Chain A
Amino acid sequence: MTATDPKVLPVASQGKPKQRLGDIIFSRTSLISGSAILAILAAVAIFLVGQSLPAFVADPEDLIGSPASFGDYVWPLVFGTLWSATLALVMALPLAVGIALFISHYAPRRLAQILGYIVDLLAAVPSVVFGLWGIGVLAPAVLPAYTWLAENLGWIPLFAPPVSGTGRTILTAAIVLGVMILPVMTAICREIFIQTPVLHEEAALALGATRWEMITMAVLPFGRPGIISGAMLGLGRALGETMAVAMVLSATGVITINLVSSTNPSTIAANIALSFPEAYGINVNLLIATGLILFVITLIVNSIARYIVNRRKDFSGAN
């Protein structure tokens, strides 16, 4: 082919930049690194699937606590995971939006950045420390409130007596989870609230709106995707959080929506952390299988969150 048009070749090669060895090495290295991430993620999925396959086909008699079937073992854990994460989200979302608004629109400018750092400090506290705090401080502190709830609102299934004697219920675990997911949700809400077009805000104020009316008219409609994706990311964190739940919750593996009793459903992550050190044989595969289910749940939640974030190219989303 090249021999047929000798006139074109010199011109084309002249316009082409010289390929240097350093350039090739550098671009290949970065390409390989980028691809390595995809490979790692694929490897995570493949190894988890490979190691959990034996659990799906095993005789249920051999599994931990010999349940009637694989599903009977997993279902209470899935329920507990979703239930505690939902509770945490319900408690943390209004707070996170409030804090983000406080930092972006209420606090004085100079103070706002420092306040942002302080909220970020919450994110820096390791989860095992949250666990210690949950048992040592929070559980005894909320116990009187639980007793009161069970005595006075016991007719609501959520607060049906008998009340737990230690305060280590799923509601306590959810409060700890809520505190832990607060920083990530606040960070995302704050970032998008700050990016509200100043002209929209000033237009609202110029028309005589109060600060709150300005927020409902300009900031919240603009920030809605940020709030939604922040909530989803927080939910993802809460679903996968392990140590705080493992330490705070005293679990019995039942399905109940009761928030204050001593019988609580466990969560997938906490159950793995507590059972894994003593597990052997097929039970290791069983625990990995539950981990795979957790992986899939968080993957779905996070993908939805990222999809919402990425639809708006104006802001980067993750902290």
Chain B
Amino acid sequence: MTATVVQTGITNSLTQGQLHPRTPWVILGLSLAAAGGIVSLIASAVSSEFSLVGAIALGALFYLVSIVVISRLVEGSRKATDRFVTALVTGAFIIAMAPLVSLLFTVVVNGSARFDVEFFTSSMRNVVGEGGGAAHAIVGTLLMTGTAAIISIPIGLFTAIYLVEYGRGPLARAITFFVDVMTGIPSIVAGLFAFALFAIFFGPGVRMGFAGAIALAVLMIPVVVRSCEEMLRVVPNELREASYALGVPKWLTILNVVLPTSAAGIATGIMLSIARVIGETAPLLIVAGFTASMNYNLFAERMQSLPVFVFTSYSNQGVDTQAYLDRAWAGALTLILIVMLLNLVARIIARAFAPKLGR
């Protein structure tokens, strides 16, 4: 009994001159409530709608001012600066979240209007106005992205193996540097490259799915190299040395020890690189063109893809504008779902099969 009384009676010199941990939250709540009240008063005065964004912005401003003033009075100027920056940094994060939330919300709301069976089963052939779908675009996207993956995964993986297992000296340094530079190639330049390459063989005005796949491969290779290289470097050297000590040749060591150990990470990296190129629009717009018809042949005729479908539905709105807009949003929703799914699966693989490094 007495002990507790004594404990509460003593003022702790360590916590003196500090705000209670809960105080900032109370101030935040009060400022938001005050801002909400003021904004709703103004809204009723000029008879306009209550602005949630305005209320939150005003509340954040109130909080910023009051926390700095209170902290300066109780804790001193250095602590006040610290609290000010904490509020700013947290605010920066919330500001960055706003577009993401707004974007996802809009895409889901607008995209669900035409997110039906017909959208996935029919093409746009002979469709004017309502109806129609993106089956041809989805097939095109799968074909071109698949071909790009088939081209870039072996090149990327073997380059990563070269850099980690074999590469020494200036050539390896040059490859590392230019892979980094290659990650920065604008996607439209990759499209122009594929066009320039194919125009030599097939004449000007060439449009084909395979050229689109080449453009995507140029964008995909550096991403594959970077992620595979990172994963191969994580493999502990002890494993390689143990294998060499048993007399296993280098190539079998790589094949049977290094690659299986890093397989999960490599799979993750490859999925993320596919997720990156599957949403590319500009290069496909240039070299694969756009069409309303189904096309299964990579080597002839124009080929539609999902991102280009979204773009053309928006930019070439027909008579029935709403039908085209709905299709564009539904395409955007499909695209986001595919990309998110790829990301999610990649993360799950990475988490579930991560190598145990024995630490």
What is the interface of chain A, defined by CB distance below 8 A to chain B? 20, 22-23, 25-27, 29-38, 40-41, 43-44, 47-48, 50-51, 94-95, 98-99, 101-103, 106-107, 115, 117-122, 124-133, 135-138, 179, 182, 186, 210-213, 215, 233, 236-237, 239-243, 246-247, 269, 272-273, 276-277, 280-281, 284, 287-288, 291, 294-295, 298-299, 301-303, 305-306, 309-310, 316-319
Q: Which residue of B lies closest to A117 (CB)?
A: B347
- Cα A136 to Cα B172 in complex, Å, equals 47
Q: Is the CB of B183 within 8 A of A318?
A: yes
Minimum CB–CB distance from A104 to chain B (whole Å) comes to 10
Determine if B339 is an interface residue (Cβ-Cβ < 8 Å): yes
Contact of A240 among B91, B175, B187, B343 (CB under 8 A): B187
B93 CB–A CB distance under 8 Å: yes
A310 touches B103 (CB 8 A): no
Stretch of B32-40, B128-136, B153-161, B235-243 that contacts chain A:
B153-161
Chain B residues within 8 Å of A182, by CB: 96
Binding site of B, secondary structure by majority: helix, strand, loop or mixed? helix
Contact A128 B311 (CB under 8 A): yes
With A and B bound together, what is the CA distance between A222 and B183 in angstroms? Answer: 25
Contact A121 B100 (CB under 8 A): yes
A50 touches B196 (CB 8 A): yes
Map CB proximity to A onto B145-166 as digits: 1 under 8 Å, 0 otherwise. Answer: 0000000001111110111011
- Whether the Cβ atoms of A34 and B163 lie closer than 8 Å is yes
- Knowing A117-B347, A121-B340, A132-B329, the reply to whether A291 touches B159 (Cβ < 8 A) is no
Q: Are A302 and B184 in contact (CB under 8 A)?
A: yes
Closest partner residue, chain B, to A180 (CB atom): B99
A242 touches B186 (CB 8 A): yes
- Would you call B106 an interface residue if the criterion is a C-beta within 8 Å of the partner chain's C-beta atoms? yes
A137 touches B102 (CB 8 A): yes
Is B96's CB under 8 angstroms from A133's CB? Answer: no
**Chain A residues near B110 (CB-CB < 8 A):** 136
Residue of A37, A294, A303 with most partner-chain B CB within 10 A? A37
| Residues of A close to B196: CB separation below 8 A | 47-48, 50-51, 288
Q: Chain B's nearest CB lies how many Å from the CB of A116?
A: 11
B336 near A129 with CB under 8 A, answer yes
Chain A nearest CB, measured from B144 CB (Å) = 14
Cross-chain contact B166 with A27 (CB below 8 angstroms): yes
CB distance A125 to B103 under 8 Å?
A: yes
Q: Which residues of B contact A27 (CB under 8 A)?
A: 162, 166, 250-251
What is the minimal beta-carbon distance from A108 to any residue of chain B, in angstroms? Answer: 12
Query: Contact between A20 and B249 (Cβ–Cβ < 8 Å)?
Result: yes
Given the complex, which residues of A lie within 8 Å of B250, measured CB to CB?
Answer: 23, 26-27
Per the bound structure, the CA–CA distance linking A235 and B84 in Å amounts to 29
Q: Give the residue name and chain of the A residue nearest to B189 (CB).
A: A295
- B127 within 8 A of partner (CB): no
Q: Is B167 an interface residue (CB 8 A)?
A: yes
Cα A188 to Cα B81 in complex, Å, equals: 26
**Is the pair B314, A132 in contact by a Cβ cutoff of 8 Å?**
yes
Give the CA-CA distance A309 to B179 in the complex, in Å.
14
The B290-344 residues at the A interface (CB cut-off 8 A) are: 290, 307, 310-311, 314-315, 328-329, 332, 335-336, 339-340, 343
Task: Compute how far the CA of A101 lies from the CA of B157 in the bound complex, rounded to whole angstroms.
Answer: 34
A43 → B minimal CB distance (Å):
7
Taking a contact as CB atoms closer than 8 A, the residue among A136, A213, A280, A305 that contacts B82 in the complex is: A213
Which of B205, B252, B307 is A22 in contact with, Cβ under 8 Å?
Answer: B252
- Bound together, the chains give a CA A288 to CA B276 distance in angstroms of 24
Contact B89–A129 (Cβ < 8 Å): no
* Complex interface: chain B residues within 8 A of A34 (CB): 158-159, 162-163, 167, 171-172, 175
> Using Cβ atoms and an 8 Å threshold, which residues of chain A touch B230?
316
Considering the complex, give the chain B residue whose CB is closest to the CB of A133: B103
Q: Is B281 part of the binding interface, using a Cβ–Cβ cutoff of 8 Å?
A: yes
Task: Please judge, given known A-B contacts A126-B335, A133-B106, whether A95 and B95 are in contact too, CB under 8 Å.
Answer: yes
Determine if A119 and B96 form an interchain contact, defined as CB atoms under 8 angstroms apart: yes
Minimum CB–CB distance for B248 against chain A, Å: 11
Q: Is the CB–CB distance between A26 and B332 below 8 Å? A: no
Q: How far is the CA of A38 from the CA of B276 in the complex (A)?
A: 22
Chain B proximity of A293: nearest CB distance (Å): 10
Contact between B328 and A132, CB atoms less than 8 A apart: yes
Are the C-beta atoms of A44 and B193 separated by less than 8 Å?
yes
Which residue of A117, A137, A213, A288 contacts B192 across the interface (Cβ within 8 Å)? A288
Q: Which residues of A contact B86 (CB under 8 A)?
A: 106, 211-212
Instruction: Give A133 to B36 CA distance when docked, in angstroms.
Output: 28
Say yes or no for B254: interface residue by CB 8 A criterion. Answer: yes
B69 CB-CB contact with A under 8 Å: no
Residue pair B90, A102 in contact (C-beta under 8 Å): yes
Cβ < 8 Å to A, chain B residues 78-111: 78-79, 81-82, 85-86, 88-93, 95-97, 99-100, 102-103, 106-107, 110
Residues of chain A contacted by B172 (CB below 8 angstroms): 34
Q: Which of B4-12, B23-31, B112-120, B218-226 contacts A (4 or more CB under 8 A)?
A: B218-226
Which has the most chain A C-beta neighbours within 10 Å: B106, B193, B307, B335?
B193
Residues of A within 8 A of B310 (CB): 128-129, 132
Residues of A within 8 A of B78 (CB): 210, 213
**A-B interface, 7 closest residue pairs, ranked by CB to CB distance from nearest:** A240-B186, A126-B279, A98-B92, A302-B184, A33-B158, A30-B162, A26-B251
Q: How far is the CB of A35 from chain B (nearest CB, A)?
A: 8
A243 and B189 contacting across the interface, CB-CB below 8 Å = no
Distance from B337 Cβ to chain A, minimum over Cβ atoms (Å): 11
* Measured CA separation A240–B186 after assembly (Å): 4
Q: Which of chain B's residues have a CB closer than 8 A to the CB of A37? A: 155, 159, 175, 178-179, 182, 221-222, 225
Q: A30-B158, A128-B310, A269-B186 are in contact. Are A98 and B89 (CB under 8 A)?
A: yes
CB distance from A190 to the nearest CB of B (A): 12
Contacts of B195 in A (CB 8 A): 288
Q: Closest B-chain residue to A274, C-beta based?
A: B315
Closest CB-CB distance, B100 to chain A, in whole Å? 5
Chain A CB count within 10 A is highest, among B106, B200, B230, for: B106
Q: How far is the CA of A148 from the CA of B103 in the complex (A)?
A: 25
